[in-house]
Amino acid sequence: MSASIGKLTRALPAQSWTQDTDIIAPQLTEWRDKYQGHTPLMLTPRSTTEVSKAVKICAAHNIKIVPQGGNTGLVGGQTPMGEVLLSTRKLTKIRDVNTVNNAMIVEAGASLQSIHDAADKAGRKFPLFLASQGSCTIGGNLSTNAGGNHVLKYGTTKDLVFGVEAILPNGDIYNGLTSLRKDNTGYDLSRLFLGAEGTLGIITAASLKLYPKAGHIQRVIIGVETPAKAMELLDHCRSGDALSMFEVIPRIGLSAVVENIAGQRDPFSALHPWYVLIDWDVESESQGLTLAEKKLSTAFERELIRDAVIAQNETQAAQILSLRENMSAGQKFLGGSIKFDITVPLQTIPDFFKRADKKMQRLIPECRPVGFGHFGDGNIHYNIAQPLGMDKEIFLERWQEVSESVFDIVGEFGGSISAEHGIGIMKKSDLARRADPVKLSLMKSIKAALDPQNIMNPRVML
């Protein structure tokens, strides 16, 4: 290994690699501290050509590689355990913005926020919105098929890309950076790399879809009694294609944010069991206010909601959204948390909560379920906070037992054990036990065909 690492460092410019432990250390720990890694070398290539060169050397010497974007992943897929770490942190260029074709070409290490800024400057919108958008990268978003708050209207990351440029496990460069909206010349090879978590190659750039900016985004926050009421409200609040966000958080989650995160406050004078955050994309402020007042007025009459606050300006809208964006940070103050990123059919969400909450209380009495997320597309972040007074480590030792119970319920509802964070290390064994055997066989065949040496993220997914 030492001799092979030497070949890598001699072949690449000094700016494109490091063995400085102080520089590498922050990239070896994911933000929840669940995974701690180690690596003999971190590659920081500055171009597609440099990535290709590095991978060719790794392939020639059977050196395993773990690709990493912004290190915001939650399932351990970006943490090396002795493999070479290849960071895309220096591949940050916005190569092109085309407002005629509503497309932009960006490098994999570009932060999601920088892509928003570039699109906004051109009078367009890239509609992938995540709480981590200041630090996550588009390459990581594509590799995990991130979802976010606007899947309801625009779809997941897979739906927002024309094609990708990627380095294959042998070092060849696949150029799929098309912006064609129709191309039926064989397999859609770019999609192989979307959601593949770096197991089939390293995405170095992508051609993304842009959309017209809404004239005005009307945001409201609503207090409701139950998840069932929230689901009734979802159907009630649809208005053409204007509804772009429908997020739900429980009282325990909002309290964790308000009580522990600086600058946050409860927008209501009374407490409510559940809260719904809604965005409508409309042409004007007056249209937004009219739509919100009409929908909420009839919702009151139907007893779907308990109270509502309509954002009157951008500052209020940002304050409302920050309650949702700080949910993960707020939960840290509840102690240990066993976390799930699952999806179930929309109509089953209320029943899922009833069954899962009841099962959790039987398993760990006085545990505190915190279920929130993108109810508009069926994606629930179902987390279990430790009981007050229980030792954190003892609680977290129950992770696998709790996982089995939650995933059993998800399976009975016809759902998925991973909605938008990927499989990584955390869910690899669960996928092996629960996925359709034919699907698993096909996935393994594709992996073997493209990466026969298993050098690309070798411990992930399969």
Q: What is the DSSP string of 155-186?
A: --GGGGEEEEEEE-TTSPEEE-----S---SS
Q: Which residues contact 426 (CB under 8 A, 6 or more apart)?
A: 34, 74, 75, 76
| pLDDT recorded at residue 363 | 97
Q: Is 203 helix (H, G, I), strand (E, B) or coil?
A: strand
| pLDDT recorded at residue 67 | 98
Cα-flanking dihedrals φ and ψ of residue 248, to 5°? -125, 135
Residues 247, 337: contact at Cβ < 8 Å?
A: no
| pLDDT recorded at residue 441 | 97
| pLDDT recorded at residue 74 | 85
Could you give the angle at the alpha carbon of 42 between the alpha carbons of 419 and 64, nearest 5°?
65
Please list the ranges in the chain whose pLDDT falls under 70: none
From its phi and psi, is residue 148 left (phi > 0), alpha (psi between -120 and 50) or beta?
Answer: left
In angstroms, the CA 316 to CA 319 distance is 5
**Token representation of residue 320:** 């409302």
DSSP state letter for 38? B
| pLDDT recorded at residue 3 | 84
Q: Say if strands 337-343 and 379-385 run parallel, antiparallel, or are unpaired.
A: antiparallel
| pLDDT recorded at residue 131 | 82
Structure-token match 């625009």, residue found: 154
338 forms bridges with which residues in the sheet? 384
| pLDDT recorded at residue 16 | 97
What are the structural domains, with CATH classification, of the chain?
2-87 (3.30.43.10), 94-212 (3.30.465.10), 216-328 (3.30.70.2190), 335-420 (3.30.70.2740)
Residues 132, 108: contact at Cβ < 8 Å?
A: no
165 forms bridges with which residues in the sheet? 175, 205
Residues 194, 164: contact at Cβ < 8 Å?
A: yes
| pLDDT recorded at residue 447 | 98
In angstroms, the CA 110 to CA 93 distance is 7
| pLDDT recorded at residue 403 | 96
In tens, the pLDDT along 291-323 reads 999 999 999 999 999 999 999 999 999 999 999
